[in-house]
A = this chain, B = another copy of it.
Amino acid sequence: MTSRIDPLTLEVVELIGTIVARYHEEYEEAAAKHALTGAQARVLGLLSRAPTPMRRLAQQLKCEPSNVTGIVDRLEARGLAERRLDPADRRVKLAAATEAGRETSAQLRGSLDFAREPLAELSDEERTVLRDLLKRVLGDVS
């Protein structure tokens, strides 16, 4: 059962696991620097792109809508987000980042050093190879 996967694949999976762990660690750490939790940072990141209905946020976060209520509440309480009414459908509330929210989100993106440092090890050519391999692993047919 356990030995059906070849050692090479197993090694790659383990490496990916390590990357996942480190990515998370850095993300939470960067969020904490702005006194945000991971969930709050994720929502703020989405909102800084475009105002979004609560329901859609829940879909993007893969969680229940009732959960999003609390997260947006906390962002709103800190002046990073606000709720607007959708003129086209009065049931809908559009969560949107405030100016302060957009700024915080931009700073957060900038401090996510996971991007630059480790990948700087690779040449352009290697980065291209890595990109293509990752794309295929993800089943990107484009």
A interface residues, Cβ below 8 angstroms from B:
1-2, 5, 8-13, 15-20, 22-25, 62, 106, 109-110, 112, 114-116, 118-119, 121-122, 124, 126-131, 133-139
Across-interface contacts of A138 in B (CB, < 8 A): 15, 18-19, 22, 118
Instruction: Please name 15 pairs of A and B residues whose Cβ atoms are closer than 8 Å in the assembled complex, sorted by A.
Output: A2-B106, A8-B128, A9-B116, A12-B127, A12-B134, A13-B112, A15-B131, A16-B23, A19-B134, A20-B20, A20-B24, A118-B137, A121-B139, A122-B133, A126-B133
Decide yes or no: A114 and B13 within 8 Å by CB, A1-B106, A119-B137, A122-B136 being known contacts.
yes
Q: Are A15 and B106 neighbours in the complex by a CB distance under 8 Å? A: no
